Every structure is written in C-alpha cells, then in structure tokens.
Amino acid sequence: VAVRGPASMLQNTYKTLPVPLGGANGTFEVERPLDCPPAIIAPRVRVSVEILPDLVEKELEFRVEIMRSANSPDEPLTPLPYTISAREGWTRRIKLRGPKEALQGLEDDLDRARLERGIGSVLPVAYVPRRELPDRLGTDEHDRNDNLRIVVSGLPSGVEIVDPPLLPVNMARVDK
C-alpha cells in the first residue's frame, strides 16, 4: 500500500480499522481505511474475509458391511472358506469432524434412514473392503480374531473421520 507523510511517521506499522462482522458469514471483501495519524495520506485497503464454519466432533452410528470397494467394481466375489462374525455387532460408532450443520444433517438423515429403512436417501456407506479379507485362514488356524479397517465413503463435503475405525471380527473355518 502506498502511503505519504513525514518520514518519521512512515516507519511505523499501521493496521486497518476493524472490519464489522456482525451477522456476516461466508467470504466477502470490504474496503477499510488505515488507522493512522491525519498527517499520513493513505488509500482505503481492500480486506478479504473468510468466515469458516464451526468444526465439531461427533460420533455417529453406521451399519458396516463387507463389500467391493468403489475403486474396484470388477473385483471377483468368491465364497470365503470361513465365516465372519462381528464380535461387537455390525454397527459401529465412528467419530467424525466437520461443520456443525453438516454433521447434524448427517445424523438426522441416518436416524431417518434407520426408521424408514433407507428408502429414498443417498447416505454415506461404512464398509470393510473385500480385498482386506484373507483368502483363507492359515493351515493350523481353526479360527482367528482380527480387527478390520472400515472405510466410509460418501461423507458430506468438509466432514472427515477422526480416528480410523476398526471392526472386531472372528473368522472361523468352514469344515467341509
């Protein structure tokens, strides 16, 4: 910013006058004068303001499925030589972080989908990718406890997973 005035006053740092934010949201620009003595001649300065949404963390309950990932729809689905049971059930509480309104809307949509059996709604999906499962258990294993990585796809913009969720499972060999 080009300013004019006595040399002794030009060695100082000057700030703009405060930008009034009352009721503002989103991104906007405003011109503000510099807060400097009358002996300094300064133009108004364009100030860019970006007000970000309040971020919160919230645990939401998702039903977890085992499925092909969206990145590999041609992945073959062959029967596994073992059964899989979720040690703590097929639902998991997953901690998310994002804009307060987005998380509240997602929670409302998930609750409504549970009541209406998901009809007419496009919701995020929590799943264990099929490629994460072993093809078979070891030759000396009859069963195995494991923690499988859960992927959540389709989260609203700005919403992310805080802690990588795991699904505790038991895999038991199917004897033929």
pLDDT in tens, 24-69: 888 999 999 988 888 888 889 999 999 888 899 999 999 998 886 5
Average pLDDT over residues 21-25: 85
| Percentage, residues of the chain above pLDDT 70 | 90
Q: Confidence band (pLDDT; 50, 70, 90) for 91?
A: very high
Look at residues 92, 60, 58 and name the one whose alpha carbon lies nearest to residue 169: 92
Dist. CA 150–CA 62, nearest whole Å: 10
Pick from 72-81, 105-114, 164-173: least confident: 72-81
Query: What is the chain's mean pLDDT, rounded?
Result: 86
Average pLDDT over residues 147-158: 93
More confident position, 35 or 79: 35
Q: Is it the case that residue 78 has pLDDT exceeding 80?
A: no
According to the model, what pLDDT value does residue 4 have? 85
According to the model, what pLDDT value does residue 54 have? 86
According to the model, what pLDDT value does residue 7 have? 86
Cβ-count burial 76-110 (b if 16+ within 10 Å, e if not): eeeebebebebeeeeebebebebbeebbeebeebb
**Which amino acid does the sequence have at 117?**
R
According to the model, what pLDDT value does residue 143 have? 85
